[in-house]
Amino acid sequence: MKEKRFARERTYIKEQIKCALERPGQRAENHAGMPQRSAFMPRVLAGMAEGFAQLLFPEHLYCMACNDLLGGENDWGLCTRCMSAMFSEDILRRTTIEGQGESGVSHAISCTVYGGLSKEILSKFKNKNQPWMAQDLGRLMAQRYREECWADEANAAQQGNCMGAGAKKAAQLVTFVPMHESKRQKRGYDQAQLLAQQTAKALELPYCQCLQRIRATAPMKNMSQAQRLSNVNGAFAWKPLPKQQFLAGTRVLLIDDIVTTGSTAKACAEVLRRQGAADVTLLTFAAAASGMCT
Ligand SMILES: [Zn+2]
């Protein structure tokens, strides 16, 4: 309860600060295409106020998986025991999805496998009204993505490719698999959207909502791959960007909380590819174990 109270108050304060102070700065940036002097003071004030809120309501008091009190050195919102249980070497392997490549999803990366602690975390995040967990989860996902890029670069360097495969594949825009508006209103937030925003922030990449779910889809837990594909067929549509040409030739990082067979990601990637995306990489927090992890 204490954890919830702290987190809610902290989130509320931060949101208030954001609404009150960031908007004038953003308007100034958008208008001229580069920051103006009028954007400076709101940023300073926002930084001071955020620091003050941090003092009053420190983050990372409890492990988001097991609820144990965290030591001051922890920076991921997880205790060392849960960190090692979820992110051990043998589960940090590439995720593959059925029809990968042809599907429009060129790479699929997950932080961990779904089950146990990761299931507990996602259940809290999605079903127990704890949207603030996106901050730590997004940072974990960003870190996992960076590791994949570094690994690709190291492999490419070993093979004598000085450009580095990772550098060539690195995403330029972060977007997400949206939930249907009716479901979002019921939950109060779209978890994949929050993860995408936080991942983009941690990776210092632009974030944008490029897709909309135009048809509510049935839960896919017990569906076959063919049923899943049919369930999501035509469920997603392009959400026009303020500057539509922005997506053409862009390498997109598509975010979701969990991947099972990849049929949903495939449906999204097809829409993104039709709009000119050069590459779509799927990044999820967890991959369900049904033959997903290589
Ligand atoms: Zn823990």
Tell me, yes or no, whether 45 lies in a domain. Answer: no
pLDDT recorded at residue 33: 34
Look at residue 250 and tell me if it is in a domain: yes
pLDDT of residue 36: 42
Q: Based on the structure, what is the number of domains in the chain?
A: 1
The Å distance, Cα 61 to ligand 1 centre, comes to: 11
SS3 string, 172-203, reads CEEEECCCCHHHHHHHCCCHHHHHHHHHHHHH
Domain with 255, as residue range(s), is: 85-287
pTM attached to this predicted model: 0.75
CATH number of the domain within which 207 lies: 3.40.50
Distance from residue 249's CA to the centre of ligand 1 (Å): 41
**Structural domain includes residue 57:** no
The pLDDT value recorded for residue 101 is 63
Tell me how far the alpha carbon of residue 269 lies from the centroid of ligand 1, in angstroms: 35
Each of the 294 residues of the chain gets a pLDDT tens digit; together they read 445 545 555 555 555 545 444 443 333 333 333 334 445 666 666 666 656 655 555 566 789 889 888 876 667 888 888 988 888 766 655 566 666 665 689 888 999 988 889 999 999 999 998 899 999 999 999 999 998 887 766 776 666 544 334 444 789 999 999 999 999 999 999 999 999 999 999 999 999 999 999 988 888 877 888 888 888 888 999 988 766 556 888 999 999 999 988 899 999 999 999 988 999 999 999 998 654 433
CA of 70 to the centre of ligand 1 (A): 8
Q: What is the pLDDT of residue 27?
A: 35
Distance 15 CA to ligand 1 centre (A): 27
**Is 61 contained in some domain?**
no
Q: Is residue 123 part of a domain?
A: yes
Q: Is the torsion defined by CA of 259, 93, 208, 263 positive or negative?
A: negative
Q: Is there a domain that residue 38 lies in?
A: no
In this structure, is residue 65 part of a structural domain?
A: no
Taking the centre of ligand 1 as the mean of its atom positions, its distance from the CA of residue 69, in whole angstroms, is 8
Residues with Cβ within 8 Å of residue 181, at least 6 apart in sequence: 212, 213
The answer to whether residue 175 sits within a structural domain is yes
**CA 42/CA 48 separation, integer angstroms:** 10
Rounded to the nearest angstrom, the distance between the alpha carbon of 89 and the centre of ligand 1 is 18
With CA atoms as reference, report the closest residue to 193 among 210, 176, 180. 176
Q: How far apart are the CA of 122 and the centre of ligand 1, in A?
A: 14
For ligand 1, the distance from its centroid to the CA atom of residue 64, given in whole angstroms, is: 7
CA–CA separation, 17 vs 50, rounded Å? 8
